Structure 1
Amino acid sequence: MPPEMVGWSRHGWVRLGEGWAGCLRSPLAEAEREEVADWCRAGRPLVIARGRTGDGAGELRLGLATPDKRRIGLHVAADAVAEHWRPLPLAEAVETAPEAWRAMLAELVLRALALGVRPAVYGSLAWQHRTELGYVRPDSDIDLLFAPRERWQLDGLLDLLTAACDGTPRLDGEILLPDGAAVAWRELAGRPARLLVKGPAEVSLRDLPSVLTLFDREDAA
């Protein structure tokens, strides 16, 4: 990854510039190209998706999700990007959530911050906040993203999320590992022998001790 693209992780956001179509690295169907063009003309962003093995340096995989749950994937050169943001902090999105959820989400933010971790959000709530369109439904999950650096933070987060997970809305999402990969927090909380881990461009299985050791190294640093 070029130095200027460090931090352009999954669940981040971009707004494409006017010449984005000339930066495509994989073709789009004509109807999809027109829809993306309309989306970009409205000033709406796209989300950064996981790359694929073989993608070139300075290339991005992006996603467009519509309120009716259609998905369009784009493969573009980073030169197409006019603006870039990191994953959306949950604190910024609380007021976008249904009113009945706000107190719980605000409390979750405070308790995560007390552990030294700033929670982010992706999925339907993030799309609704970024676009002002109607993505969140009564049965929507909240997809959360946490990046603990030390083992005590990880353990505290898993305890916090496990205690809150049976309420409404359902809390899903990922723990970002110190090496940049991610694992579903629910899976990690179950302490299975092997975990499905999502890397920047691949998905693999890792044994639990090797994942936990990443946080132990951070403690020792």
Structure 2
Amino acid sequence: MDPLEQFQRHDLVWLSASGWDALCAAQPLALLPALRHWQQQEWPCVVRRSDTDAAADEVCIGIAFAPQDGHKLRIAARVRCDQVIEHQPGLALATVLPLVSAVWQPPLRALQVAASTVGLRFRVYGSLAYEFLTGETYLTPDSDIDVLFRPADAVQLQAGLALLQHYQQQLPLDGEVIFPGAQAVAWKEWLLADSVSETDYAARVLVKDLRQVRLLRKTDLLQSLQAT
């Protein structure tokens, strides 16, 4: 079994002591206090796309530190898969709702309720997720709310896209739709392709997975839903 099959981009992972030692050893010495603080707080790292030269048993991860004076510091690292001691998908939207601002609360709750009625679970990543996990300040007035969803079929795909299209009028929404095989497409790009031609399923969209970025036809992604 491919050890990476268990991971998807945006997943949260917690590292063993040896994992943290390996991560810290590969980073500049000046970052060591911040990284050890992250370890002591037992905050997770986030799975990112694999580096082209990563070993077969390595998972590529990242940490985004809270912005300081407008500067955003991110680190990229690798650890062995066996140095991950806990692993879960990104946070559910319902989980982070108590954190969000009063301005965002009503439309986000409405989005969550509407998604539940059609059997969808939206998850969050990016600044909103980091702020919930760490308690530090990541969100600014210009921040997006990054959300993703994994449709089970074409009906759920259309339902999820319709909800996001509706609520983006009230919220700074961004994010991805995840097709089978962890194939991620920016849902705004999918909607844009729809707006150009509702029937042109040969149109290509940019697809990201754990290993690569490529262009695929929309029809191929739709067929992947039908095959599951």
User: What TM-score do you get using the length of structure 1 for normalisation?
Assistant: 0.89
Matched residue SS, 1:174: strand
> Matched residues, percent identical?
34
Specify the SS of the correspondent of 1:63. strand
- The reply on whether 1:143 has 2:146 as its aligned counterpart is yes
- Closer, same or farther: CA 180–25 of 1 in aligned 2, 3 Å: farther
State the 4+ residue runs in structure 1 displaced beyond 3 angstroms.
21-26
Out of 176, 179, 189, the position equivalent to 2:178 is 176
Structure 2: runs of 5+ lacking an equivalent: 197-202
| Cα shift readout 1:80-133 (whole Å, capped 9, x = no counterpart) | 223222211110001111121112111111111222111100011100111111
1:79-94, aligned counterparts within 5 Å? 79-94=82-97
Q: Partner of 1:201 in structure 2? A: 211
1:106 is matched with 109
In 2, Cα distance between the equivalents of 1:140 and 1:6?
31
Q: Secondary structure at the residue paired with 2:132?
A: helix
What SS does the corresponding residue of 2:227 show, helix, strand or coil? helix
Mean Cα deviation higher: 74-83 or 157-166 = 74-83
Listed as ranges, the matches of 1:122-137 within 5 Å are 122-137=125-140
CA contact (8 A) 1:89 1:121 kept: yes
Q: Aligned residue for 1:115?
A: 118
1:62-96 Cα shifts (integer Å, max 9, x gaps): 11101112101111112322322221111000111
Q: Is the Cα contact below 8 Å between 1:26 and 1:74 reproduced in 2?
A: no
Deviation of residue 28 (structure 1)? Answer: 2.1
Shift of 1:185: 0.5
Deviations 1:135-175 (A, max 9, x none): 111221100010001001101111111112122x3110000
Residue ranges of structure 1 left out of the alignment (5+ in a row) = none
Q: CA deviation at 1:8?
A: 2.2
Instruction: Look up the match of 2:10.
Output: 11
Q: Which residue of 2 aligns with 1:42?
A: 41
RMSD between superposed Cα atoms in Å: 2.0
Q: 1:7-29 CA deviation, whole Å, 9 max, x = no partner?
A: 32111112222222444599322
Work out the number of aligned pairs and report it.
216
8 Å CA contact retained: 2:24, 2:35: no
* In 2, Cα distance between equivalents of 1:150 and 1:21: 39
TM-score, reference length from structure 2: 0.86
Is 1:166 matched up with 2:165? no
Deviations 1:22-56 (A, max 9, x none): 44599322223443222212222211111123422
* CA–CA separation in structure 1 for the residues paired with 2:16 and 2:24: 15
Letter of the 2:208 counterpart: K
Residue aligning to 2:65: 66
Find the aligned partners of 2:207 and 2:24 in 1 and give their Cα distance: 27
- Distance in 2, matches of 1:199 and 1:44, equals 24
